[in-house]
Amino acid sequence: MIYDMMLTVHQRAEVLERVLRVIRHRGFKVTSINMQVHENETSMVDIVVESERAITLLSNQLTKLIDVVECQVLPSQIENKLASV
Amino acid sequence: MEQGQKIRGADAVIKVLIAHGVNTIFGYPGGAIMPIYDALHGSSVEHLLSRHEQGAAFAALGYARASGRTGVCFATSGPGATNLVTTLADALLDSVPMVAVTGQVSTSVIGTDAFQEIDMLGMSLSCTKHSFMVTDINELIPTLYQAFEIAASGRPGPVLVDIPKDIQVALLEYKTPLLAVLPEPWHDESDIVAAKALLHAAKKPIIYAGGGVGMANAVSQLREFIKVTGMPSVATLKGLGSITIDTPGYLGMLGMHGSKAANIAVQESDLLVVVGARFDDRVTGRLASFASKAKVLHLDIDAAELDKLRLADVAIASDLRQVLPEITQSLDINPWRDEVQQLQVTHQRDYDCPGELIYAPAMLKRLAQKLPKDSVVSCDVGQHQMWVAQHMWFDRPENHLSSGGLGTMGFGLPAAIGAKVSRPEAMVVAVSGDGSFMMNVQELTTIKRRQLPVKILLIDNQKLGMVKQWQQLFFEERYSETDLSDNPDFVRLASAFDIPGRTIDKACEVEAGLDEMLNAKGAFLLHVAIDYTHNVWPLVPPGAANHDMMDETETQI
């Protein structure tokens, strides 16, 4: 499945590494990424990921990151809750 | 301090620790953390010098787990910091609050492969709850405050603060920062209504309690819930101590080496009330077959654990101390309680082991009977760890320290040191195996240095026992690299650290051996030689369902 996610993150040098590490470790592959730095100390990261797993398995983990302010999964792409593990 | 007076960043680090009530730090100095050690010298904070950074950090974890406070450790840059990695991972998997402060090379040479430079921030990403590298002196104090807040709040965990040397010597004016408190999760009333409806409808409910109960300080709320509902219960390795052994319907540990009664009851249940637990594979066996007839009510402060491995019928991400009282209600489940009681009777442990040799389960049961109230047992990892979990009992989770998630050999001895520092009045026993003990054996010096009366019960089968057991059962007895018969003379080894000890190898010596260890004034090592053929039973084989346990005759129940 392909999911489109919009993250609001704190502007810290390592924030993208954190996000990408979680995406890889939780079983998702990045197919597209775009980051915009804002003036208000946050950045927006638009990431398209692909996986057989349910997106909540990833979005819940990203939400837990201290430097992730918000993690939105674009509504049309939300799949079943349960991951295939 | 006078208004406007400036201090070094290193002095500010110590002041922040004092402001957080830290009275003992565990660590090991080195080049890039020297200013902080200089600030420590002569301060009111005690420092326990280990002989390896891993020993220091495990002591900090033992300190934290035995007391509920946040453990703090120091290490220098490069190898000092990388030696912490295993302990950070251990703290992450077992949700232990820890703040690790590491020195770093000066900011001007970061990225130049300077002496003892490693990208510790990068290395920490996968093994901490959060991590920081401080590159601005004005961020130092707020960062440290934030580190303590993050480590202890919500689901606790390890936080690393990497501080370059130039930041440690830069000057600043000490100001207590104003911090936004992290938001606590909250739940809807509708969740509570749904949870109560599930409970009301259940005919065969059972509690599956995990380490989250103790971490949330929700032991009394769970016990009240059990008392009022009359519900049977089981616990995970980390949940041991949350429920006392004399609680009606409590069946002990579930999972791979759990009790048969616990596993059968869970498999038979129609409602699994999961409290601060996470469906770990060592608990569930084959996941698809785990409590397959049961609905699930899952309570955990970490929303990411809900629906991760098992879809819950009702899932509540909130503080257990708040949720449990809200769903506590009496239930009409007497036939089920009778059934569970019968299971308990049918599957009682058998401690009868004919012959002269020492039977470790019986010895550990005897130790549990002899220990003073509120003692701490710190385990290593392997067969002895499972025997402790199966055959000993604990009045509260803080009394049983075990590396559950990461399963780190070498945890037990330093964690016992930290436990003794945080609870000097408690009897602290490190139960170790001959494999694990050697992994942090250098910490015997730390015991000697501080004259800590830590008791060491070393169960020695001259094997890497748990791996050997699996080789025997699942790898056609091909014993690849699990023979440890070249172990040192452990009593002589302890003696070199001024720690007295003795060896016992006959069942008739157990009583006197345990008494000598427990009654010794200071530290003592009781070396217990056991037969290597003794394995941990029962066992859920890999890939099997929990009701398909093997027992000693290698037949399935």
User: Which H helix or E strand runs over B133?
Assistant: strand B130-133
Question: In angstroms, rounded to a whole number, what is the distance separating the alpha carbons of residues B97 and B154?
Answer: 10
Q: Is B287 touching A (CB cutoff 8 A)?
A: yes
Residue B126 with chain A: CB contacts under 8 Å: 21, 25
The rounded distance, in Å, linking the Cα atoms of A66 and A15 is 10
Question: How high is the mean pLDDT of chain B?
Answer: 96
User: Contact B308/A63, CB-based, under 8 Å?
Assistant: no
B300 φ, ψ to 5°?
-160, 145
* Span B508-549, pLDDT tens digits: 999 999 999 999 999 999 999 999 999 999 999 999 999 999
Strand order of the β-sheet with B98-104 is: B46-49, B24-27, B71-75, B98-104, B158-164, B130-133
Q: Average pLDDT, stretch B385-409?
A: 98
Whether chain B has a CB inside 8 Å of the CB on A24: the answer is no
Q: What is the ipTM of this complex?
A: 0.93
Tell me the pairing of strands B46-49 and A68-73.
unpaired
Residue A79 confidence (pLDDT) above 60: no
**Are A81 and B311 in contact, with CB atoms under 8 Å apart?**
yes
Residue type, B279: F
φ and ψ at B59, to 5 degrees? -65, -40
Walk me through the domains of chain B, giving residue ranges and CATH numbers.
Answer: 6-173 (3.40.50.970), 189-346 (3.40.50.1220), 360-529 (3.40.50.970)
Conformational region of residue B481, where left means phi above 0, alpha means psi within -120 to 50, and beta covers everything else: left
- Confidence class for position B2, pLDDT limits 50, 70, 90: low
Q: Give a three-class secondary structure readout of B284-309.
A: HECHHHCCCCCEEEEEECCHHHCCCC
The H or E element containing residue B261 is helix B260-268
Q: Report residue B471's pLDDT band, with 50, 70 and 90 as the boundaries.
A: very high
Question: What are the CA-CA distances from residue B52 to residues B119, B181, B413, B432, B501 (Å)?
Answer: 20, 35, 13, 19, 24
Q: What is the pLDDT of residue B300?
A: 97
Quick one: average pLDDT of B181-195? Answer: 87
Indicate yes or no: CB of B287 within 8 angstroms of CB of A63.
no
Q: Which residues in chain B have Cβ-Cβ distances shorter than 8 Å to A61?
A: 304
Closest partner residue to A64 (CB to CB) among B121, B304, B311 is B304
CB contact under 8 A, B130 and A25: no
* B residues 485..514 contacting A (CB < 8 A): none
- pLDDT at position A34 is 97
CA angle B211, B212, B216 (to 5 degrees): 130
User: Would you say residue A85 has pLDDT above 50?
Assistant: no
* Section B8-12 average pLDDT: 98
Asked if residues B151 and B157 have their Cβ atoms less than 8 Å apart, the reply is yes
Mean pLDDT of B132-145: 98
Contact A14 B126 (CB under 8 A): no
| Contact assignment for A14 to B302 by CB distance below 8 Å | no
Q: Measured between beta carbons, which residues in chain B are less than 8 angstroms from residue A78?
A: none
How many angstroms separate the CA atoms of A16 and A43, rounded?
10
Residue A70 has pLDDT above 60, yes or no: yes
Checking DSSP bridges between strand A42-50 and strand A29-37, what pairing results, if any?
Answer: antiparallel
Q: Which residues of A touch B307 (CB under 8 A)?
A: 56, 81-83
Chain B positions touching A85 (Cβ under 8 A) are 287, 309
Task: Spell out the domains of chain A, with CATH numbers in brackets.
Answer: 2-77 (3.30.70.260)
* Catalytic site positions of B: 53, 115-116, 165, 466
Q: What is the mean pLDDT of residues B91-113?
A: 98
Contact B122 A17 (CB under 8 A): yes
Give the residue-averaged pLDDT of A19-39: 97
Average the pLDDT over B200-218 and give the result.
98
Q: Are the Cβ atoms of A57 and B308 closer than 8 angstroms?
A: yes
Q: Does the pLDDT at position B243 exceed 90?
A: yes
d(CA B336, CA B343): 10
Flag whether residue B187 sits within 8 Å of chain A, measured between CB atoms: no
Question: Distance between CA atoms of B52 and B75, rounded to whole angstroms?
Answer: 9
Given a cut of 70, whether residue B557 has pLDDT beyond it is no
Interval B339-359 mean pLDDT: 93
Is the model's pLDDT at B555 over the cut of 50? no
- Which of the pair, B307 or B178, is modelled with greater confidence? B307
Among partner residues B121, B126, B302, which is closest to A25 by beta-carbon distance?
A: B126
Lookup: tokens for B21? 């009530």
On whether any CB of chain B is under 8 Å from the CB of A37, the answer is no
